[in-house]
A and B are shown apart, each in its own frame.
Chain A
Amino acid sequence: MQKSLAPSSNTSFLQRFGKVLLPVAVVYVLLMAGQPAGLEPGRLLREIISDPTILVQQLITGLANAAIITIIAIGYTMVYGIVEMVNFAHSSVFMLGTMVALLFMVALSGGQATPLWLALLAFIPAMLFCGVLNSVIERMAYRSLRSQPKIVSMIAAMGMDFILQNIGMQIGAFGKLPNAFPKDQSIAWLRVLGNQNPSPKSFPQVLPNINLLESIFGPDVVLRITPAEVVVILSAVILVYGLSWFVANTRPGKAMRAVAQNPAAAAMMGIDVNKIINLTYAIGGALAGAAAVMYGLYKGTTSWDVGFVNGLYSFTAAVVGGIGNIAGAALGALMIGVISALSNQLLASTDWSKAIVFLVLVLVLVFKPTGILGSEGGEKA
């Protein structure tokens, strides 16, 4: 940095030495401290070499994870791109979406097995619900705070997140209602909510848990792809494609880009900025709703706290890809999906996957806060 008068003085040598030594020391300490988590490069390398299909299989799993993460991440990234705020409540909107999707599927199945078309139909109520919810939250909680310091809207968003989480937890109480009216068949489906309010709730098994590759190539296939994975990945592709088309070609889409670029100028051009921001929240929410259905189909279970982990993963994906950038969100999601799948497989406990993804987040934020596809924003004095 400082080109001092004596360029080869002792201190600058030490500094240069330190620059090399510090990362080495950090990695060394990390490799020691990471051992309880199973972060042992030697073992990992050996396991992968001895069975390379692990890697390919986890890539497939990671792709399916990434499909869901992408769709949630786009919600973060779009809102951030337009109002520069992390919508903390987004993860809980997603969580409530899973509840809505679950209730819709079970309520309309009438005690029978849920058919695939009904499960796919759940996209509509879930997206509607989450879209409206997110837009209402924007209108009620965030809009009037936009002119205040940023910490104010961040705290409000955090508060919103708590409120929704608590609601997600207390929905479970209705699972006790059928016990009170055992003869009333019209509410029997509420049993899906379980006996304890916060307990995990299972989705109906919609897609058969079979290996598609096996049914095509015969029984000696090592790899495994399930129908749920295919459905989830396909849905994500359709949604991302549809959204890109919407943003690029429609009037509101173009208005959104204009507001993201420069709200003041957009307002002067006659764009109703408030409306566009609200629309962005609505679309982000609707995507969270879609992700919720995908999550239900793929993971088969939900609970009040699924928002946190998936929110963390998705936010990380958005940041890794470069926040504000839809393609970046997809790319980041792919990385996070694969990383989490691999760490689920290879580390000591699935608990640690969270820690690993979080580590990725911190590293990216510290060393490349603009992400992979992000651009350097101009500074202002």
Chain B
Amino acid sequence: MMKKILARGELIAVVLTAFLALILGGWQIMLIAALAGMLIGLSAEHKANYLPRAAGVAAFVGLILIAITHFHNTSLSTLPGMEHIPDQAKTVGTYLIALGVIIGLAVLTAWIHNLADERKRQVYFIGLMVALAVFFPFFEQCPGLSWTNFKFVDMAAGCSEQSNLLWIGPVIVMFIYALQAIGLNIVAGFAGLLDLGYVAFFAIGAYTMGLLRSQQLGSQMGDPDFFRWSFWIVIWIAAATAAFFGLVFGAPTLRLRGDYLAIVTLGFGEIVPIVVKNLYAVRIFEPISLFIGQLFGQKSSDLMQFCLLGCGAKPLDITAGTKGISPIYPPDFFGYTFTVGEYVPWYFLALTLLVVSAFFIYRLRASRIGRAWVSMREDELAANAMGVDLIRTKLTAFVLGAMFSGFAGAFYASYTTLITPDSFDFSISVIILAQVILGGSGNIAGVMLGSSIIMLIDRVLLDKLKMVINGVLQGLVFKGIDNQALAVFWTSLTDATAYKILLFGLILVVMMKVRPQGILPEQTAARRRAA
């Protein structure tokens, strides 16, 4: 019956809203309202009275949202497992604003979605997204906050600063991953090359930033502050270094067939962290003299062997091994220094990086190079016969993909201030690939959508789910039973965050079987017309 009243997209909006409201609790009501509003707008078919209809559905969903939120605040929060869910937004004012947000966005999105002019539709939609992104840091707060000196000052009762910062951190990380995902999209989505070791370039970018903006190398040279080059220069060096390694890795391997390439890139992703981990005592000699010297058993101090690097009393410690590089200096911006914990400047830096990159990639796709990439993916042999230089074109895709990952890595290193070889493990390649596949490989907007969904799951939902399940177990199931070890067992078995890789693997398999083109498939050219 529900299906008859609501269209499929609207039904999804209802279910999703209810679920998010339950899991995330009340005070994110604004964010959930915004998401639901857009979803309702996007699912509005162009029929008579579609705008009032969207408004009506939005009001309905909004009331559900408010009801659940209120329920949360009054009764649900006392239940076991729910104590981890923040519950501050109780005022009628908040509810009204949320209702306004959901209806307003639903109508606005529905209107844009049904514009006849393709070009206008695109521009307006991008404008809306950018506007939302810019206002996001304000969105996530309780209404009635004021904003001074990059800090949100808590004015509404019950809004603790801690809970306000739940979203912005994960969103910054999401931007970093989205940046990588749109980079991988060049390689896998446009050019059709399966790169399973994309994390290698992320690591290279991060370590370049780490080395050139920390005391790691400088302290061994006697001047700890020697490597404190400007962030704005180093981020380019990092991207260039990643691109260079993309060239080095790609040049010999890109002529391989697809499945071999996948394995080889998988290897790169594995080897780069190993190398990084082991470069903590480096002393390099000129090879020929070393060969002769060692063969005849001379000591390294003998004159015969020419030392080139790390020739001091101690060998050079480049990467500090498993310990990692820390602290990495945060960026400066016209006298303002970024600091850990002050999220807003980081947020806008990451947002700028992402938007500019996305724009760049969009224009690349619309150029002759982009056409060559996709033609190669569609039919390599025909593309070659039409004059597309396969090796060169593949290499361009691979190198540019590496470059964007390098950017992301450099930003990530500055943002976290600590990088270790473990921060670049295989699962990152998996997560990024899953983002590209889920969202819609070949479609930049789709890939970004994939990023937000996956990162929402990865950084927020799984953690919450773990807490809720844990709370339910502790509070309900094991309440009367005095067997702590059994509880430990169940907690560990039902730890939602431990099934991350399984979930992403499942997403890959299911998407391949059900919808290999992704949630938002690549569009054909009409929508891509250059301005």
Contact = CB atoms under 8 A, between A and B. Distances in A.
Direct contact of A and B (CB under 8 A): yes
Interface of A: 28, 31-33, 35-37, 40-43, 45-46, 84-86, 88, 141, 144-145, 148, 150-156, 158-167, 169-170, 173-174, 176-177, 179-181, 197, 308, 312, 315, 319, 348-349, 351-352, 354-355, 358, 361-362, 365-366, 369, 381
B300 to A, nearest CB: 10
Given A36-B279, A159-B509, A362-B264, A176 B256 contact: no
A179 B492 CA distance: 13
B278 A352 contact: yes
Contacts of B485: 176, 179-180
Interface string B490-524: 00110000111110111111001100100000000
B114 interface: no
Given A362-B267, A365-B256, A381-B381, A155 B194 contact: yes
B260 A159 contact: no
B282 interface: yes
A158 B297 CA distance: 48
B274 A352 contact: yes
B502 A163 contact: yes
A351 B278 contact: yes
B292 A42 contact: yes
A161 B274 contact: no
Given A43-B294, A162-B501, A365-B253, A354 B509 contact: no
Contact of A177 (B271, B284, B285, B489): B489
A42 B501 contact: no
10 contacts: A35-B282, A144-B513, A161-B505, A162-B508, A165-B505, A167-B502, A169-B501, A176-B492, A315-B263, A358-B270
B284 A32 contact: yes
B483 A180 contact: yes
B488 A179 contact: yes
A197 B256 contact: no
B194 A154 contact: yes
Q: Which of B257, B259, B264 has the most CB of A within 10 A?
A: B259
Contacts of B433: 155, 158
A176 to B, nearest CB: 4
B262 interface: yes
B192 interface: yes
Given A86-B262, A349-B278, A381-B381, A32 B502 contact: no
B489 A176 contact: yes
Q: A interface, by DSSP: helix, strand, loop or mixed?
A: helix
A28 B252 CA distance: 17
A166 B505 contact: yes
A159 B295 contact: no
B381 A36 contact: no
Nearest to B285: A35
A35 B275 CA distance: 12
Interface of B: 188, 192, 194, 196, 252-253, 255-260, 262-264, 266-267, 270-271, 274-275, 277-279, 281-287, 290-295, 297, 308, 381, 426, 430, 433, 437, 483, 485-486, 488-489, 492-493, 498-502, 504-509, 512-513, 516
Contacts of A156: 508-509, 512-513
A268 B498 CA distance: 48
Nearest to A28: B287
Nearest to B488: A176
B486 to A, nearest CB: 4
A319 B513 contact: no
Contacts of A173: 489, 492-493
A355 B483 CA distance: 47
Nearest to A167: B502
A332 to B, nearest CB: 14
A356 B500 CA distance: 31
Contacts of B275: 355
A31 B516 CA distance: 44
Nearest to B287: A31
B505 A162 contact: yes
A35 B290 contact: yes
Contact of A361 (B263, B381, B498): B263
Contact of A37 (B258, B264, B278): B278
B252 A362 contact: yes
Given A179-B488, A348-B278, A151 B194 contact: yes
A32 B498 contact: no
Contacts of A151: 188, 192, 194, 258
Contacts of B287: 28, 31-32, 35
A315 B504 CA distance: 24
A85 B259 contact: yes
Given A46-B294, A150-B258, A163 B506 contact: yes
Nearest 7 interchain pairs by C-beta = A159-B508, A162-B505, A42-B294, A166-B502, A180-B486, A31-B287, A179-B485
Given A40-B290, A354-B270, A358-B267, A365 B508 contact: no
A271 B62 CA distance: 60
Contacts of A312: 263, 266-267, 270
Given A166-B502, A174-B489, A362-B252, 10 more contacts: A36-B281, A141-B513, A154-B258, A170-B493, A180-B486, A351-B278, A352-B274, A355-B274, A355-B275, A366-B255
A365 B253 CA distance: 8
Contacts of B259: 84-86, 150, 154
A159 B512 contact: yes
Contacts of A358: 267, 270-271
B270 A308 contact: yes
A40 B283 CA distance: 12
Nearest to A45: B295
A181 B488 CA distance: 12
Contacts of B507: 159
A252 B498 CA distance: 42
Given A162-B505, A179-B488, A354 B274 contact: yes
A150 to B, nearest CB: 6
Contacts of A88: 262
B139 to A, nearest CB: 34
A163 B492 CA distance: 18
